[in-house]
Amino acid sequence: MPLTQAVQREHIHTRQINFTGYEREDGWFDIEAHLTDTKTYAFSNNWRGTIEPGEALHEMLLRVTINDKFQIQDIEAATDNSPFSICPDITPVYKQLIGVTMGPGWRKVIRERVGGMQGCTHLTELLYPMATVAIQTIKPLQNHRRKLADSDSKANAGRPFVLNTCHAWAETSPVVKENAPDYYVPPKTEDRIRVKSLNDVDQAAKESTE
């Protein structure tokens, strides 16, 4: 379902962020991120002169190499475009994350080692979703290969790694009932009432706008 029709407006700024996961031939994984910030108008920069429409004010790239246990084996950061000449000087600091495991406490470690004045705001922001991208790169691939190797793997797959991580994968969800019945927990009466109430409110809101 698309967003509702917006009021008349003018496009000013675009931030594009792309994450890509790769499996390497050595068995490790590369998780890469690419960020760009562009404007729709030309403006002056003390270091670079005039920055034209569509030209990147910020362009940062990050590659995090991990093993299948989500432990960082290497990390490479690059700043191709920035508003200040000293911005690229901070990229080597991201090597301090080598050895860290993407898991509980991931955001805390990022803040402690490369947060604030210790790093680049934009490169550091790219790190936070890296763990989710890594999970989406590695776990489904492992499950896919397990299914190919064992036609009965669905029964032997074990606890889904996404269980209770979102609304759809809540243990009381029909999604879990269908895809992982061994881990399905029937919702309590009060939970069903709450969901029904929320649905009623949502329906009333829709009807009021029609």
Summarize pLDDT for 95-104 with one digit per residue, the tens: 999 999 999 9
Torsion of CA 20, 161, 151, 142, to 10 degrees: 30
Summarize pLDDT for 102-147 with one digit per residue, the tens: 999 999 999 999 999 999 999 999 999 999 999 999 999 998 888 8
Assign 209 a pLDDT band (cuts: 50, 70, 90): very low
Q: How far is CA 179 from the centre of its chain?
A: 24
pTM: 0.77
Report, as an integer, the average pLDDT of 65-70.
Answer: 97
Question: What contacts 139, CB < 8 A, 6 or more positions away?
Answer: 161
What whole-number distance in Å separates Cα of residue 78 and Cα of residue 139?
28
